[in-house]
Structure 1
């Protein structure tokens, strides 16, 4: 299995706008979590300008599918996003 780090750059008004899409976003995240693809995720704070999600999958396509389905992305709360391969050397492998 491979690990991937998805990083979102959030809009300046993310905290004000996320309420309309939060439940749908969390349902999507929970679905990926239950499938064993999403290990953890959340927004950074002070400032809440980025979010980081850690995936474990054989293919990056699973992470790309999450991004395409995410209501935060579809509704413009994410200015940009990046998927990076993550070489885990300590911890759960």
Structure 2
């Protein structure tokens, strides 16, 4: 099944984002336990704060459906989202 790299760029409302972070992480945890999110975590603040999520999904539409359920999506703290299919050659996400 394909792997996708998703990057978020967060907006300037850090206070609201931090307030909802536990729900965002709970959403991620559930998808990680289901084998959908392979890895995730924050990116540094330069040039802007963001996050990286690595998904295993059938296609981009499936990734988009999962992202729509992210609590951050409903509160408007994400300025932009990039979804790119990724082909890991080495490491734990590479398929034999």
TM range (shorter): 0.7 to 0.9
TM-score (norm 2): 0.84
Q: What is residue 34 of structure 2 aligned with on the other side?
A: 35
1:35-78 CA distance string (max 9 Å, x none): 10101111112445221100112233331122101111111110
Q: Distance in 1 between matches of 2:65 and 2:20?
A: 18
Q: Give the number of aligned pairs.
A: 92
Q: Which runs of 5+ in 1 are unaligned?
A: none
Question: Once superposed, which parts of structure 1, at least 4 consecutive aligned residues long, lie more than 6 Å away?
Answer: none
Q: Distance in 2 between matches of 1:20 and 1:49?
A: 16
Q: Distance in 2 between matches of 1:85 and 1:29?
A: 19
TM-score (norm 1): 0.86
Q: Which runs of 5+ in 2 are unaligned?
A: none
Aligned-residue CA RMSD in angstroms?
A: 1.5
Q: Secondary structure at the match of 2:52?
A: strand
1:12-54 CA distance string (max 9 Å, x none): 233x222321121111101100110101111112445221100
